[in-house]
Structure formats: C-alpha cells, structure tokens
A and B are shown apart, each in its own frame.
Chain A
Amino acid sequence: MSLDIDDILAELDRDTTAVEMSSEGPKQPGNDSMDILNSSLDGTKTVANGRSTSLKPKIISPVEDFNKLVTLWKNERCSPELLPYPHQLMRRMLIRIEEQMEHLEILSMNFFEESTNGGSSANGKRNSNAPANNNKMLPLLCMEAELERVKFVIRSYIRCRLSKVDKYSIYLRQINEQFLTEELEEDDMDNENRISPLETLMSSEEIQYHQRHFSLLLNLLNESVLKYMSDDLQAINDTEGSVNMVDEPDWNKFVFVKVIGPPTGENDFDPLLIHKLDPERYYYSITIPETNEDIELIIGSIYIVRYNLIKDLLKDDKIELI
C-alpha cells in the first residue's frame, strides 16, 4: 500500500518519468499558491511568521501526495463529521491517474502488437530447451495493480464522504443557511472574499450531489407523508415540543488519535506546541471541559479522546485518526 505507482514507474521506465517530472515542474508554483490560499481558508490562522521563507515553490512528490491521501482517507473514515475536501490534492491525483492510465494503455498496446506480430518469429528462434515465460508482462501488471489500488483508495474515500453527506444532509443545509443569513446581516463588508463553508467542506460534485439528493428526498417525503399533514406540521424538522429530528455528527464520539506534530525539525515554529524540559517532551494541551482537566498530547503517542476535543488539531494536521 505504501508504494506509489509513480515509484514503480520510475524504476521501470526512466524516460517517461523524466517527462512527467518536467511537466510537473511548471505547474508547481501555481499549485502552491493555491495551497496557501486553501489553508488560510481552512481557518488555519497560524502560518508561522518564521516560516515565510518556505513560501518559495515547494515540490510535492507523488509519494507525499499518496501518503497524504491515505491519511485523509483514514481520518475521514474515523471521524464522525465530514472533513474539509482536499481540492488541490484531488486535482493532482486526478491528473496523475489519467496520465498513468494513458501510459498503461500505450504500454499494453505495444505489448499486444509485439505478441501478435513479433510472436511468430521470436518463437521460431527461441531455444526450445529454455522454458517460455511471460515475465515481460509482470511490470505492466504491477503498475496496473498499483493504479487499481490508488483508484480504490480514492473511490472508498469519496464513497465514505458521500455517505456522510447523505447522513447529515439536513445538518449541512442548516450550516449553509446559517451562513447565508449571517452574510445578509453583515452587509457587503468583505463579501467577495467570503466563501460558503460548504464550498471548502465539499467538492463541487459533492455539493451538487447534496443539493439534488436532498431535494429528491424532500420531494419523496412531501409526496408520501408531509402533504397529508396539517399545515403546521409540514416542515421536515419540527424541533418544538419534541426531540430534534436532524441528525448531527456525534461530537462526543470517542476516537483513537495519533499525535503527529509539525514536520520534523520545525517543532519550534509551532505556537501550539508546548515544550517541556523535564523530562524533555513536546506536546499539545487540551482541556476536558466537564472535569476541567488538562491533557498532554505528546508527539508520537496514541490516545482515545472525545472527538470535539481534538477536532481543531485534526484540521490542522497535528494529529491523525487511526
């Protein structure tokens, strides 16, 4: 799972990889600036000042991307709420997948032709004592298998997200409505820069899916139940008098977390990170409101905590769900 398709490709066929690398190069600066934009949208208010030097284009290798994807995938599957959608990462993944599919296509076409045309003459010349084998096909199959795996991870990731979109359909709408009303109240101060929370949270496909599925569902409920109700009972969610009908993420769900911390060597640039000398350790501090108890989340350790205590750390990539 830890192997990336491009890795294998690099070993097999240096020429094509070189082409890929060069095509990757020019794209990079654009990507990165978008990344920064993206992270500031996430509400990560703290890109440390000391790190301003790192603003220069940073090359993100396919391996890093894949690892990141797997982390996101795991986080998504373990967290009760829908996590923000990694727009840039997914865009890069898509490009890579398509390139790789094309590449494989060409390779296997070549192979196909070789085996149908060249087969006869090769056959005639081959020393009949040496057993035949199809080892030539093996690298191709490895690449194919690896591609299938990447596709699977993305598929599973998206499907997981969609199931949450369905589950919290109404809740997500409420977030949006809330935002829209706030926007109205706040006039047009910095309206242009404001992006609806759903747009950072979900991909355009997911937003579409959410809206259309919700309206279908609403329609179904209307036709088969609600229209028979008296006027005051026709809303899908009546909160008065009884329990809330909207499913909200279970913020108090217990989750397993592993504390990651900032990239190695940058411990000092992370303002949230607390450094203690005796015994020497780096940790994040969180407080359990009910008991007013502080917990040290030491880097590299694993904890079981309620989700709402760590959700901010999760969104800052300081921890991973496992």
Chain B
Amino acid sequence: MYGDLGNKLIIEAKRTEQLTQRHIAASLNNEVNHNGSNNVTIPMYNDELVNNILKEVRQLKQNADYFKQVKQEQEEQQLLDGVGANPRNDKIRHCQNFVNLICLERNKRCLMAYQRMRSDMIDKLIWNGDIENNSSAGTGTGSKRYEYNELSHNEQEYMNQYKNLLDDLNSESELWSSVEIMGNMNPPSDIFIDIRVLKDIGEIQTEYGTFNLVKDSQFYVRQSDVERLIQQGYVQKI
C-alpha cells in the first residue's frame, strides 16, 4: 500500500531518536563513561528504503500526470460533446486524485522528517567534536572514529559545509573564539583535575611544557590543557 514504506522510515527515525536519547541518559547516569565523551552515533543511511520510497513517488507522480491527462481529455471531450460533466465520474476521479496527492505529500513529509533528523544528528556530532578528529584520520591510535560510511553522499557534502561554516564563523568572530564556543558544555569546576590515560598517545605539547600520555598513568593537571583529549576520549576525567 502506498505510504507503508514512508511509515517504516518514520518508525526507524523514531527508534534512532529514542536510542540516542537513551544513550545520552545512560552516559549521564553513569558518569564514569568509558569513552569520556558521550558519542552520538548515526545509524546507516537507509538507502534502500529511501530509494523505494522515491520509486513510489515516481509512480505516484505518473499517476498524477495520468489523472491530469484523463481529466483534460474528458474535459476536452465534454467540450466537444457539449455534454455536462458526469458528476459520478467526476467524483471518483476527484477522489483518486486526492488520495494520490495525499500519498505523495505524506511520502515527502516522511522523507523530509528523516532527513532533518539526520542533519540534526550531524550537527550534534560536529558540535561535540566527534567529527573533528576524523579529519586527521589515519594518524594515531586505533581510537573509535566516526565513520563517514553511514552518511549518504548529500549528507557528507552537508557535513563538510556545515563544518566549514562553523570554522569560518569561529575564526571571524572574536566573541565566539574567545569564549571557545565549541568548548565543553559542562560548567567548569576545577582548574586542576585528575585524569587517567586510556590510550597511549605519546607526547603532547601544552603552553608551557609537555606531557607524555602513557596508557594507565594518571595526571593531576590543568583542565584546559587536556580538555580536547577528554572530549576525544583519549583520557578520562576522574
């Protein structure tokens, strides 16, 4: 039946949303989150389902064209025959056309809602800094990276552009850069914190010195020096 596929897509979207919410709730509850940051993960773009819906859309579009054509023909015919419209036929045609249109519209809404949900998630990923470490992919340790594979081609395009947008604004705006707009959203507590290193990172440079972040060692250091590493999940705040 028309619209069924759209329904499926929406159910999937809803489920994704719930999962993310549960994930975030879980990571809030259990503060000692193993990865340090509450990673949002995007499920695979459902290419097949979307394509099927688009196929259905094409079908519906054809139907619509057909109805239009029939209507035109009939009207021409009526004009030729000089006969008034057959109210019953008219009604049936009208109904068919209407249902067709509603299906079309519904599919459009489903697709848009799905897309919007995903774009919102992409936004979130970028704000969380989860994507950032990806741009330097290949270097460093086998950390859990965000894979681009889950995104459709258009989404990847979008993601890159959105990231550029933020980078631009960040470098242009004094205010944004001086308050570190992309920074941590937890209220700051201490200047110095305990961190535990979860992965071998090696030497990192800070403003006045260097640290050697060896797995399973613990540091008592300036929070601002390791903020980034906490977000990326290399170290864990104790």
Interface residues of A (CB under 8 A from B): 90, 93-94, 97-98, 101, 112, 141, 144-145, 148-149, 151-152, 154-156, 158-159, 166, 203, 205, 208-209, 212-213, 216-217, 219-221, 223-226, 228-230, 233, 236, 238, 241-242, 245
Contact = CB atoms under 8 A, between A and B. Distances in A.
6 A-B pairs with least C-beta separation: A148-B188, A225-B111, A220-B158, A154-B179, A151-B179, A223-B154
A156 B162 contact: no
Chief secondary structure at chain B's binding surface = helix
A156 B127 CA distance: 13
B115 A220 contact: yes
B169 A205 contact: yes
12 contacts: A141-B192, A152-B187, A166-B120, A208-B169, A212-B165, A213-B162, A213-B165, A221-B116, A225-B108, A225-B112, A236-B112, A241-B105
Interface of B: 50, 54, 57-58, 61, 64, 101-102, 104-105, 108-109, 111-112, 115-116, 119-120, 123, 127, 152, 154-155, 157-158, 161-162, 165, 169, 172-176, 178-181, 183, 185, 187-188, 190-192, 208, 224
Contacts of B108: 225-226, 229, 233
B208 A112 contact: yes
Given A220-B119, A224-B154, A144 B191 contact: yes
Contacts of A208: 169
Contact of A155 (B111, B154, B180): B180
B57 A155 contact: no
Given A151-B178, A245-B109, A145 B191 contact: yes
A230 B104 contact: yes
Contacts of A151: 178-180, 183
Contact of A228 (B54, B178, B191, B224): B54
A221 B115 contact: yes
A245 B192 CA distance: 48
B115 A224 contact: yes
Given A212-B165, A228-B54, A155 B179 contact: yes
A165 to B, nearest CB: 11
Nearest to B111: A225
Nearest to A243: B109
B82 to A, nearest CB: 31
Contacts of B208: 112
Contacts of B175: 90, 93-94, 154, 158, 203, 205
B57 A101 contact: no
Nearest to B158: A220
A221 B181 CA distance: 27
A166 B165 CA distance: 14
Contacts of A236: 112
Contacts of B116: 217, 221
B19 to A, nearest CB: 21
A224 B111 contact: yes
Given A98-B178, A151-B178, A151-B180, A159 B185 contact: yes
